[in-house]
Amino acid sequence: MFYKTKIKDYIRTPPKLFNLSKEEAVLKQIKEEYEGYISKDMGIVIDVSQVDDIREGIIIPGDGASYYETEFELLVFKPELQEVVPGVIKDIADFGAFFTLGPTEGMIHISQTMDDYVSFAKDKVLTGKESKRALKVGDKCKARIIAVSYKDPTNPKLGLTMRQEGLGKLEWIKEEKKDEKENKKEEKNKSKK
């Protein structure tokens, strides 16, 4: 899920940036410090959306840099359990598929790609034995987040599934909806007889 988060922090502006306006120097330092930052509480910082307030700066003796108490807003992506996310299959291995969603990646174990016995082919395709459905690199899909781990804070791990109704390759979802409409139409015709 994407969020806008308000932050209040003291931003250190080194002397090499004193040639810029206070606003430019502070914005440059916020971007340098926060963009790409990852934490369990905040998520993944994507961008500094705006700077709301920059108070008067102070210089700490012995440092030479100025510090500004600043309020600003960040755009962050924080994956939530059970959230349904759109994405693209980035790579396929014999154990599952790597799924790109927004600013990060997740992994779909081979057993979670579809409700079928799934086999892996050397040309990086996962195929269902009975359904004959194929999953390839570049396929657009919908998946549900079933696990989030921040064990390595620089690289959060996401576990995903596509086995539930309304999930999977977009073409599969369209087929299911079409079949569902046809089944309802048949039931309606049967009940009229």
Domains and CATH numbers, the chain: 2-77 (3.30.1490.120), 84-186 (2.40.50.140)
Q: Which residues of 143-182 are buried (b: 16+ CB within 10 A; e: fewer)?
A: bbbbebeeeeeeebebbbbbbeeebbbeebbeeeeeeeee
Nearest to 36 by CA among 147, 150, 155: 155
Give the pair of three-digit tokens for residue 80: 């939530």
**Each residue's pLDDT expressed in tens, for the chain with a length of 193 residues:** 899 999 999 999 999 999 999 999 999 999 999 998 998 888 899 999 999 999 998 988 888 899 999 999 999 999 999 999 999 999 999 999 999 998 889 999 999 999 999 999 889 999 999 989 999 999 999 999 999 998 887 788 999 999 988 899 999 889 888 878 887 777 777 776 5
For the beta carbon of residue 89, count every other beta carbon within 10 angstroms.
Answer: 23
pTM: 0.79
Give the pair of three-digit tokens for residue 190: 């049967």
